[in-house]
Amino acid sequence: MTTLITGGTVVSATGRTQADVLVDGETIAAVLSPGSTLLGHDLAGSVDRVVDASGKYVIPGGIDAHTHMELPFGGTAASDTFETGTRAAAWGGTTTIVDFAVQRAGERVQDGLAAWHAKAAGQCAVDYSFHQIIGGVDADSLAAMDSLVDEGITSFKLFMAYPGVFYSDDAQILRAMQKSADLGLLTMMHAENGPAIDVLVEQLLAQGKTDPYYHGVARAWQMEAEATHRAIMLGNLTGAPLYVVHVSAKQAVEQLAIARDRGQNVFGETCPQYLYLSLEEHLGAPGFDGAKYVCSTPLRSRAEGHQDHMWQGLRTNDLQMVSTDHCPFCMKGQKELGVGDFSKIPNGIGSVEHRMDLMYQGVVTGEISLERWVEITSTTPARMFGMYGRKGVIAPGADADVVVYDPQGHTSIGLDKTHHMNLDHSAWEGFEIDGHVDVVLSRGSVLVDEAGYHGRPGHGQFVKRGLSQYLI
Ligand code: URP
Ligand code: ZN
Ligand code: ZN
């Protein structure tokens, strides 16, 4: 099957150009001057399918490098399966996800990874890969990390939060980071001081402060900034490359910036919720509504300026990319586990469907350039996580993961509008987007176009990743 995407503006991380994109089978065959011919023949007449992208942007498919489909967490499990979550991703122009395989204390890393392969295989609409959560750092799990690179898993996540669940103490972190430095594995860190947070949680609950709002009070910015600093210092000592996930506090970004200025291999990711939503308006919503916005790190105070600082960090490259940390829980039967006790609300927000649209709003409002939009949502994730060349770029030989995005289009987000996530509410209800995902190709197959959805479970394949380009 050959496809010609004609008349569009091809946007990359470094520029934009009027060009036609020729797709042959699963890969991009050529990026051509508009109106190019083949041996004197009109190209459009020689291909199987023509996609008219006139007046639209043609961008590499989005890469969401932080999702949790079906994650067992908080006494329940994330409500999107690999099937429903990757379908929603496709609708929103995301053609690759990187999810997290889980190993807990006392479990074998190999078993955790095999379990996640079993959940995802044959279910995904778009391509997928895994990071490895090491929730129990011990001699066995450290030894098992040796084989991760061969499995195509080149990054792992540790938690300074969630004592008794995924938590690692400093001694465990030090040992895992030594491995990371030896093997060239990227250490991903959930940087919040879990034990100190648990004290505040206990004190707040004892004072009768049980509403979702207090989730944000207990997880104060100092908890994130302190843990970020500690992780940076342990990374500095061991030489482990460090990637801090879901950064939300401006003081944490400051820690990253200081380390980067010193020349340390330290990176940071933020998420749409930390750019748009706030402690006051959302976590502090009346009644139990704030539960929709309970995630960790938490939403931050707008009065303190954290959201503006995240945009600034994206402009200055103190933050390198935007993932969703998609971890959806329904209000009914899941979030409501925490009625009367905010600490029992399962942590997570669902956004995998909306990341490309939400981040495009940064272009519309002038927070970031068009090229930076592509960079932080696709190109840098590909480079950071060892997929670049195949993913994150429109160039000959790359996978034909392509999105046609209409800047004149409009997208209304809401349960009865654009909503394909398996979730009984949307944290993004009522958001009006200037722009629209018109056509989505994944490895040359059209998943979404004006006629609707054409994807299927099992189209998405596991992507074996190489080492991060940022470590070389
Ligand atoms: O609230 C969140 N972030 N839930 C998912 C688990 C994690 O820490 O990433
Ligand atoms: Zn986390
Ligand atoms: Zn997460």
The pLDDT score that the predictor gives to residue 472 is: 65
Measure CA 17 to chain center: 27
Q: How far is the CA of 219 from the centre of ligand 1 (A)?
A: 13
Q: How many CB atoms lie within 10 A of CB 347?
A: 22
Ligand lying closest to the C-alpha of residue 158: 2
pLDDT at 117: 98
Residue 393 phi/psi, 5-degree rounding, is: -155, 145
Q: State how far the Cα of 421 lies from the Cα of 353, in Å rounded to an integer.
A: 7
Percent of the chain topping pLDDT 90: 96
Quickly state the pLDDT bin for 36 (edges 50, 70, 90): confident
Strand pairing report for 57-60 and 402-412: antiparallel
Give residue-wise pLDDT tens across range 101-113. 999 999 999 999 9
pLDDT digits (tens, 9 = 90+) for 388-442: 999 999 999 999 999 999 999 999 999 988 899 999 999 999 999 999 999 999 9
Domains of the chain: 61-384 (3.20.20.140)
Q: Relative to the CA of 190, which ligand 1 atom is closest?
A: 8
pLDDT tens sequence across 43-75: 999 999 999 999 999 999 999 999 999 999 999
pLDDT value, residue 248: 98
pLDDT score at 150: 97
Q: Is 351 in the pocket of ligand 1 (CB under 6 A)?
A: no
Q: What is the pLDDT of residue 261?
A: 97
pLDDT over threshold 90, residue 353: yes
**Burial tier of 230 (Cβ tally within 10 Å: 0-12, 13-18, 19+):** middle
Q: Give me the residues paired with residue 131 across strands.
A: 100
| Residue 297 near ligand 1, beta carbon < 6 Å | no
Report the SS3 class of residue 12: coil
* pLDDT higher than 80, residue 327: yes
Confidence class of residue 40 from pLDDT cuts 50, 70 and 90?
confident
Both tokens of residue 417? Answer: 């509008």
How confident is the model at residue 37, as a pLDDT?
84
pLDDT for 210-263, tens place per residue?
999 999 999 999 999 999 999 999 999 999 999 999 999 999 999 999 999 999
Q: What are phi and psi of 54, to 5 degrees?
A: -55, 130
Indicate whether 39 pLDDT > 80: no
Q: Which ligand does the CA of 293 lie closest to?
A: 1
Average pLDDT for 288-307: 98
Q: Is the pTM of this model over 0.85?
A: yes
Q: Counting ligands in written order, which one lies closest to the CA of residue 131?
A: 3
Cα–Cα distances (Å) from 319 to 227, 354, 375, 456, in that order, read: 17, 20, 12, 34
Six-digit token string for 177? 């980071």
Position with higher pLDDT, 190 vs 40: 190
| For range 135-152, the mean pLDDT | 98
pLDDT tens across 72-129, in order?
999 999 999 999 999 999 999 999 999 999 999 999 999 999 999 999 999 999 999 9
Phi-psi category of 439—alpha, beta or left, where left has phi over 0 and alpha has psi -120 to 50? beta
Q: Is any atom of ligand 1 closer than 6 Å to the C-beta of 347?
A: yes
